[in-house]
Amino acid sequence: MNAEILTIGDELLIGQTVDTNSAWIGKNLASFGIQITRKTAISDSENEIISAINEAFERVDFLLITGGLGPTKDDITKKTLAKLYDCGFRRDKGITVHLEAIFARRGRQMLEINKQQADVPEICEVLANEEGTAPGMWFDQNGKVLVSMPGVPNEMMHIMENRVFPRIKNRFKTPEILHYTAVTVGVPESLLSKQLEDFEKTLPPHLNLAYLPALNTVKLRLSGRSDDAALLKAEMAGYFDNMCEVCGDAIFVREDISPVKHIARQLIQSNIKISLAESCTGGFIANQLVIEPGISKVFNGSIISYANEIKQHELGVPAEIFSTVGAVSKECAQYMCESALKKFNADIAVSTTGISGPGGATDEKPVGLIYIGIATARGSRVKKYHLFGTREQFMHRAANYAMMLVKDALLQEFDVH
Amino acid sequence: MNAEILTIGDELLIGQTVDTNSAWIGKNLASFGIQITRKTAISDSENEIISAINEAFERVDFLLITGGLGPTKDDITKKTLAKLYDCGFRRDKGITVHLEAIFARRGRQMLEINKQQADVPEICEVLANEEGTAPGMWFDQNGKVLVSMPGVPNEMMHIMENRVFPRIKNRFKTPEILHYTAVTVGVPESLLSKQLEDFEKTLPPHLNLAYLPALNTVKLRLSGRSDDAALLKAEMAGYFDNMCEVCGDAIFVREDISPVKHIARQLIQSNIKISLAESCTGGFIANQLVIEPGISKVFNGSIISYANEIKQHELGVPAEIFSTVGAVSKECAQYMCESALKKFNADIAVSTTGISGPGGATDEKPVGLIYIGIATARGSRVKKYHLFGTREQFMHRAANYAMMLVKDALLQEFDVH
């Protein structure tokens, strides 16, 4: 079944807010066999909202709307929906009780605009929102379902998971859509597609392969659609295996997760401790690892050694290094990872030293140059890369290459696959 | 003038990619007085692309398209545009030379699918893309302008800045749209809107105020539109001053930047050195600071002290702390920031210790509890917060509150406003 998403709010159009909700909704509805065929972002304008809803309902029977439900004047979604469905408002008891509890807990006075958040169009079914003050709403008229939710991500997700998903199961019958995704690091899209040319020819019409490049990774996504979920799953698993075999070592992980997340999970599962000494990546890699729940089991800590004096005093990099080969060097990276290994009592330690730009470059050491070191009890080694992009992109790319080194060490020295 | 954005690619619909391009485009076109009135995301399907373009041109005269220009089979935008404009292809000399240079530099063989990236619809003007292999295209037919660009963010931005912006200036005459934004931390949207109720009534019809809540910040965005840019600017500056005055201390920064970025810039400008000892925020705050170019002037480094043994051995937290009040305590946060101040030779040091969840909570110390410490030469102090959300949201909120403490210290002890 097809559905569309409509996001409401000027902030999405003038670029003040990046829309992460739609991606989340698209990903989660796929598992119900619902395919998002269009997403539209419009401003907080009554005419725009009404015409966008009417247009969407000419194409699909299920429309999800986010945004425009705040208590302030600029939020007009609720009023507009009442107008569209030509109905009045009622003040919902359940929401009122919930709002009073929130305000009591926060020790704040309830203003009239807060109380009005309990007003909903008469014909809608309320989707309770325990995470916030604006409830979701479910309209089911003339065979068309419209869901309206707040734009605040955690509130939207809460309503989707607890209120919308169960209703979707009851309301719709849909074919299965499955996605199998593998992530590659360091191999360009065109090379992968050349390698996979013959494989792509073997795909039946109801399966297709997409390439999604991002920085130094490419996601390979195999999608399929069928009425028989079990059959499709078995069929796709076979094709997915073939695809991964053709790509060989280029495949970093056979799942739709980032290289850092994959490594974090492997470390936790195998109980192998990691630490870092980061210079140019400024804590980015450590923080990406720490975002994984349960990381405390294998992460004691790490250091961001930005200045040479910190590299010297905290990591024992000899002063001669700075006056001879410099801080951005193989030698410095080696000292850094070896010291981090001991200092934080780790099994694997990673170091980074480079020029993230825009300043700091010399003729021999251009912006983008980076040395990434890795140390284990068996010794250390350093690899040199030239990375492109902004400071943030530089850090992202560096993290992915660092994870390649960790993956290799896990395989070679710890027998972790 | 109004314009629309069309993004092409299944990955945006099934949630594999978050669309950051549209936000960037929306933000940047605003300064040309061009307002994005609708953004639509569709799949790599010829019918969808053609109907979405035709629909958009019924509403606006300027359409920006991203995506679907890769070398692989799933990318069909270029072919579809040739069909829409009913024209053939020509192989562009300039692009061919550029492609050959890229492949020579990378030491890679050029495949036929790579060479085909130089093929463009005959009637379009080529927008050279020095950052990648897929060129942009500018179509100007029957008074309607269509720009097609790759979906890779840095390539799109490069083409926009170097090829599209100059052409916009030549091609269109547009009224001015201005936005003035202030960011608040720690005050809920409904309270701000109550405070600003009278102010909002004073706004003339061509100005409007929007509230954009995100975690523990709210952006207050004042927008205006006029044919006279200078007049509008002066008028809005006055209203913006009034608005900020009404909100008083709630205003963190009178600019559309994050609290961390604002503090990073203040530190660099005033040459005040910062360091951190982060436990539960796992390097997040340090990394957010380091993303700011030029931070090396005021950031020697910092430590992520996740395990108690690291807090003890690297930051001198006495072992008794862990056996009495515990690592998540005022006392521990105090030791941590005081040690970080000395260890990294800083003027201000921040520490965090808390329960980011989902594990690690006890009855007295629930998920979300955090102590944030701040130390300067004049001493240290610690504040306690309860934060909500996922691990990442917890870190974001903590960073914003930590910046409130730094802002206060900058004002009180360093006379930095």
Q: Give the CB-side neighbour count of residue B290, counting CA atoms within 13 A.
A: 30
Instruction: Please tell me the pTM assigned to this model.
Output: 0.78
Work out the burial of residue B293: count CB atoms within 10 Å of its CB; fewer than 13 is exposed, 13-18 middle, 19 or more buried: middle
* Residues linked to residue A385 through DSSP beta bridges, in sequence order: A370
Please tell me which of the candidates A14, A48, A300 has its beta carbon nearest to residue B306. Answer: A300
Distance, CA of B201 to CA of A299 (rounded, Å): 54
Q: Would you call B271 helix, strand, or coil by DSSP?
A: coil
* Contact present, B360 and A296 (Cβ < 8 Å): yes
Is B193 in contact with A71 (Cβ distance < 8 A)?
yes
* Contact present, B65 and B8 (Cβ < 8 Å): yes
Substitution target from B11, B176, B198, B304 for chain A, most A beta carbons within 10 A:
B304
The Cα of A170 is separated from the nearest Cα of chain B by a number of Å equal to 22
Instruction: For residue B104, give the amino acid letter.
Output: A
Confidence of residue A166 (pLDDT cuts 50, 70, 90): confident
The Cα of A84 is separated from the nearest Cα of chain B by a number of Å equal to 20
Distance, CA of B212 to CA of B219 (rounded, Å): 5
Q: What is the pLDDT of residues A282-301, one digit of tens each?
A: 999 999 999 999 999 999 99
Q: DSSP class of residue A299?
A: B
Task: Specify the fold of A2-171.
Answer: Molybdenum Cofactor Biosythetic Enzyme; Chain A (3.40.980)
* Residues linked to residue A41 through DSSP beta bridges, in sequence order: A7, B39
**Which carries the bigger pLDDT value, residue B102 or residue B196?**
B196
- On the question of pLDDT at B73 being above 80, the answer is no
Please tell me which of the candidates A19, A296, A306 has its beta carbon nearest to residue B19. Answer: A19
Confidence of residue B190 (pLDDT cuts 50, 70, 90): confident
- The reply to whether A259-414 shares the fold of A177-253 is no
Please tell me which of the candidates B72, B181, B287 has its beta carbon nearest to residue A284. Answer: B287
- Looking at domain A259-414, its CATH class is alpha beta
Distance, CA of B215 to CA of B88 (rounded, Å): 51
Going by C-alpha positions, the residue among B20, B63, B90 that lies closest to residue B164 is B63
Report the complex ipTM. 0.77
Is A303 in contact with B302 (Cβ distance < 8 A)?
yes
The β-bridge relationship of strands B217-226 and B176-185 is antiparallel
Token readout for B322 is 């862990």
- Domain-by-domain residue ranges, chain B? 2-171, 176-253, 259-414
Confidence of residue B408 (pLDDT cuts 50, 70, 90): very high
B357: alpha, beta or left, given left = phi > 0 and alpha = psi -120 to 50? left
Confidence of residue B215 (pLDDT cuts 50, 70, 90): confident
Work out the burial of residue B84: count CB atoms within 10 Å of its CB; fewer than 13 is exposed, 13-18 middle, 19 or more buried: middle
Is A11 in contact with B212 (Cβ distance < 8 A)?
yes
Is A290 in contact with B283 (Cβ distance < 8 A)?
yes
Q: Which chain B residues are within 8 Å of A73, Cβ to Cβ?
A: 193, 200, 209
Q: What is the pLDDT of residues B95-134, one digit of tens each?
A: 999 999 888 877 778 888 889 999 999 999 999 998 888 9
Is B38 in contact with A38 (Cβ distance < 8 A)?
no
Q: Which residue of A has its CA nearest to B59?
A: A48
Is A19 in contact with B14 (Cβ distance < 8 A)?
no
Residue with structure tokens 């002290």? B305
Residues 6+ apart with CB under 8 A from A124: A81, A85, A137, A138, A139, A148
Distance, CA of B248 to CA of A269 (rounded, Å): 50
Residues 6+ apart with CB under 8 A from A217: A183, A184, A185, A252, A258, A259, A400
Please tell me which of the candidates A36, A211, A388 has its beta carbon nearest to residue B70. Answer: A211
CATH code for the structural domain at A177-253: 3.30.70.2860
Q: What is the pLDDT of residues B271-317, one digit of tens each?
A: 999 999 999 999 999 999 999 999 999 999 999 999 999 999 999 99
Is A190 in contact with B111 (Cβ distance < 8 A)?
yes
Percentage with pLDDT > 70 across chain A:
100
Distance, CA of B309 to CA of B327 (rounded, Å): 11
Is A190 in contact with B360 (Cβ distance < 8 A)?
no
Residue positions counted in chain B: 417
Please tell me which of the candidates B25, B35, B189 has its beta carbon nearest to residue A71. Answer: B189
Q: Which chain A residues are within 8 Å of B189, Cβ to Cβ?
A: 70-72
A221: alpha, beta or left, given left = phi > 0 and alpha = psi -120 to 50? beta
CATH code for the structural domain at B176-253: 3.30.70.2860
Angle at A268 between CA A263 and CA A271, to 5 degrees: 115
